[in-house]
Amino acid sequence: MSCVKLSRVLAGDTPGRSTELYYYRVGPTDAGVKVYLQAALHADEQPGILVLHHLLSLLRAADEAGELDASFVLFPMVNPLGMGDIEFGRHQGRYDRGTGINHNRRWPSLYDALGASLADRLGADAADNVALVRAALRDWADALPQNTAFEQWRHCIIGEACDADYVFDLHCDNDALVHIFSVPQLADNMQRLADWTGAAATMLAEDSGGGSFDEVWPAVWLRLARECPQKPIPLPVVSCTLEYRGEFDTFDELNRRDAENLYGYFQAEGLIGGKARGRRGQAPAPTDLRATEMLRAPRAGLLAYCVELGDEVNKGDRIADLVVLDGDAAFVERLPVLAGTSGRVISRAITKYVWRNANVAKIVGTEVLESRVGNLLSD
C-alpha cells in the first residue's frame, strides 16, 4: 500500500513566476501496470480536476483496502503555468504565453527522437522489445532540457507518462457531451471506455495533425511496428483524450459519478478489485475522426441555435441562424448555418458571438469527409 503526494518546483523565467506542480502516486509500485491520468492540460478546462479529485479519493480508499493492482499516477491539475494565465480579469490557459504554443499541441514525436537508434536493437521477443523501448524512452525523457519553466514542466510530465500502460488526458470542449479521441488500433478498448463513461462519440485518428499529448505515446509503437515489420512490436499503451463535456460542467455530483464510472472501467480492466462501482452503458461505436465535421461560422454574428446537444441531423439541416451584426442587413438578416454531413451534434459554442471561421458545432458522422485533411482538430 502506498499513497504519496509529490511536487516539483517549476523555477520561473522571471521574478515572481515560480510555481509548483503537484501529483499523486497511489498503489503498489511493483504492480507491473502503471496508469497515468492528468487533467486541465488546457488549463481553462476544469471538469477533469473535479473528476480526478473524486477518483483520487476512491483510489486512496482502495489502496488502504489493498485493492489496487496497478500504480496510479494522477496530475489533477497538470498545468499550473496555465492556471496563472489571467488576462483582464478572465482566465485563459489554452496557450503558453511565451511561445504561443497550444498546451496540447506539438508534443514531441518519440519516433523522430528515438526510432532510428532502436530499430537495430529490436529482437525476436515482444516482451523484450517492450522493455527495450521503454528503457530508451525513460533515458530520453530524463535527458530532456530543463532550462525554461515550460521545459521543466514538460520534463516532469513526460517523465511520468513515458512508461505508463494507460495514459488518459482529461479535457473538455466548449459546450458538449462526453466524447473521446484515440487511435484506431485501440478501438475495442475505447468502446469499453465509452460504455463506462457514457461517451456520445469516440473519434479515431492515428495522426490528427497536432501532436496532441495522447497521440505521441501510441505513435512511437505503431511507427516502429511499421518500420520493422519482421520484429514483434505490440502496442502496450492505452492512450486517449477524454472530453468531459463543456467548460461550465464542473459539478460535484456529476463529476463524482464520472469518477465512479472511470473507476468501474479500471475495475473491468482488472486493475482494481473490491466492490464494483460505476455503471456500464452502451455507447455508440467509434468513428473515423475525418467523418466529424467541425462546422465553422461563415462570418461574424450572433448564433441562434436550432439544435440541442445530442440531436441527430441530416446534411443540409439548419444548425443555427447567424444574426448579422454589421452592414446593410445588420440585425435584420439571419444567415442559416447548415450541416455539411449527417450525424450527431456533440458540441456547440458556449458563447454565441462568433467571428469568421469560429467553431459552431461538431457533427459526428460516419462518412469520411473529403475536406477533412491535414490538421483534424478544431484549432
Contact residues for Zn ion, defined by CB under 5 A: 42, 45, 171
Residue tagged 503526494 (cell numbers): 5
CB closer to Zn ion out of 171 and 179: 171
CB closer to Zn ion out of 171 and 223: 171
Rounded distance, CA 220 to CA 335, Å?
45
CB closer to Zn ion out of 42 and 223: 42
CB of 289 to Zn ion, least distance (A): 15
Rounded distance, CA 4 to CA 200, Å?
35
DSSP assignment, residue 278? S
CB closer to Zn ion out of 179 and 344: 179
CB of 45 to Zn ion, least distance (A): 5
Q: Per the structure block, which three cell numbers stand in for 265? A: 472501467
CB of 211 to Zn ion, least distance (A): 14
CB of 94 to Zn ion, least distance (A): 7
DSSP labels for 59-120? HHHHHHTT-B-SEEEEETT--HHHHT-EETTEE--SB-TTT--BTTS----HHHHHHHHHHT
Q: How buried is 48 (Cβ within 10 angstroms: 0-12 exposed, 13-18 middle, 19+ buried)?
A: buried
CB of 104 to Zn ion, least distance (A): 5
CB of 369 to Zn ion, least distance (A): 22
CB of 368 to Zn ion, least distance (A): 24
CB closer to Zn ion out of 171 and 362: 171
Residue tagged 488576462 (cell numbers): 87
CB of 77 to Zn ion, least distance (A): 14
CB of 171 to Zn ion, least distance (A): 3
Torsion of CA 208, 211, 213, 214, to 10 degrees: 30
Buried b / exposed e along 70-81 (16+ C-beta atoms within 10 A): bbbbbbbbbbbb
Find out whether 243 and 171 touch, Cβ atoms under 8 Å: yes
Q: Bridge partners of 21? A: 8
The backbone region for 280, taken as left when phi is positive above 0, alpha when psi lies in -120 to 50, beta otherwise, is beta
CB of 42 to Zn ion, least distance (A): 3
Residue 279 contacts by C-beta under 8 Å, 6 or more apart in sequence?
Answer: 260, 261, 264
Rounded distance, CA 171 to CA 247, Å?
9
Rounded distance, CA 13 to CA 147, Å?
9
CB closer to Zn ion out of 42 and 348: 42
CB closer to Zn ion out of 174 and 341: 174
Residue tagged 537508434 (cell numbers): 117
CB closer to Zn ion out of 212 and 267: 212
Residue tagged 460516419 (cell numbers): 366
CB closer to Zn ion out of 171 and 348: 171
